[in-house]
Amino acid sequence: MTRELTVDLTSVAGAAVLRPGGDIDMSCAPAVRKAVANIMRDRPERLIIDLSAVAYMDSSGIATLVEALQQSMRNKIKLVLVGVTPQVHSAFEITKLVSMFTIVATLKDASNA
C-alpha cells in the first residue's frame, strides 16, 4: 500500500506551515528536504512542520528534520513540529531526538510555542 508523498505549503499568522502527507522514506525524503530549503530561503520567523498526515517516517525523514533544525538555528528561524503521529514519535524516541525538537499538539499551539 504505497502512500504517495504530497507537500503543501500555507501560511498561518505569519508562520510558514509545511504539511507533508504520506510516507517519508528514502524515496521521497529529498522532496521534503527541497521544500524545507525553499522555505528557509524566504527566512520566515517561524516554520511549522505539520506531520499529522505522515503515517510513516524512517531515518531519511528524521535526517531531513534534523537538517531543517540545524538550518533553522543558523538562520534564527523558530522550527516547530506539530501533529506527530505515534509511528513517527516512536522513530524520534528510538533515535533519542525527541528533546531536540519543539513538538506540540495543535497548529494553534505551534503558533505560540
Which of 38, 70, 75, 106 forms a contact with another protein (CB under 8 A)? 70
Q: Kindly state whether residue 78 participates in binding another protein, applying the rule CB under 8 A.
A: no
Q: Kindly state whether residue 71 participates in binding another protein, applying the rule CB under 8 A.
A: no
Q: What contacts 43, CB < 8 A, 6 or more positions away?
A: 75, 77
Burial class (CB in 10 A: 0-12, 13-18, 19+), 81: buried
Count of residues in contact with another protein, rule CB under 8 A: 26
Which of 11, 90, 106, 112 forms a contact with another protein (CB under 8 A)? 90
Nearer to another protein, 12 or 66 (CB): 66
Nearer to another protein, 2 or 14 (CB): 2
**Contact positions with another protein (CB under 8 A) in 19-48:** 23, 25-27
Q: Kindly state whether residue 66 participates in binding another protein, applying the rule CB under 8 A.
A: yes
